[in-house]
Amino acid sequence: MQLVVPYKTPSGAGTGDMLKANNLGDVVSAAAARVNLGVLSREQCDAVLSGGVWMDGFSSGNRIACAMTNQNIGTREYTIRVRFRVPAAHSGTGGNPSIFWLGPSASDWSSNTLRLQYDTTNDMKFDFNGAIAGTDYRRWTLTSLRSTYEGQVIDLVITRSGSTITFYVNGVVWANKTESTGGTPPAWSDSVTGSYFVLGTSSTGGKSVVYHRAQVYNVAL
């Protein structure tokens, strides 16, 4: 199955085959896909990491979003791949920065949303929010990932096959992780309302992140 998804560009909207079969959304640069939600853009090319898109991490509302019209992950398998430069330690001010989220809204994370974030403990956390975002959740904490790779560009791949979540860093399984829950946690195999794949922070107080590529597939690769 080959899916064609719409995307936003600085000059308007368009459609395109973002990347081959089974791909639900692909963001490769600011020119390829961008949503600037009511504020001046702070995105720019990163001179050192050629081809990257830079988010300043402090301007609320600046993010890249890829709409998956009439498509969502649901209860299917998925693979999420993000190539990015691992940010510095979180300062503790403002909200917890998001690396990405996959959910029903392009403006903020919400119920039935997957999110990769890091907070004042400075560990990466992969959350699946249930009926009440932030209260009902199932979470994997990827211990020491951020501190191990701070400042480095990594390929992070997350797959779901049934209720099994697997993390790969640069092609190697990341085993240093801890699962936890809150409220009435959803099962990993529960429905994900993945209408938008969003890169960037939804709140102030984050840290800058350089993105090189991001993809979502409806199979566990």
Which domains are assigned to the chain? Answer: 5-217 (2.60.120.200)
CA distance 127 to 179: 10
pLDDT less than 50: residues of the chain: 1-24, 26-52, 56-58, 204-206
User: Which 3 state secondary structure label does DSSP give 134?
Assistant: coil
Instruction: Pick the closest to residue 201 from 31, 65, 92 (CA basis).
Output: 65
Q: Do 71 and 24 contact (CB within 8 A), yes or no?
A: yes
Instruction: Identify the pLDDT of residue 93.
Output: 56
Instruction: Identify the pLDDT of residue 22.
Output: 44
Instruction: Identify the pLDDT of residue 101.
Output: 84
Instruction: Identify the pLDDT of residue 109.
Output: 74
Instruction: Identify the pLDDT of residue 193.
Output: 84
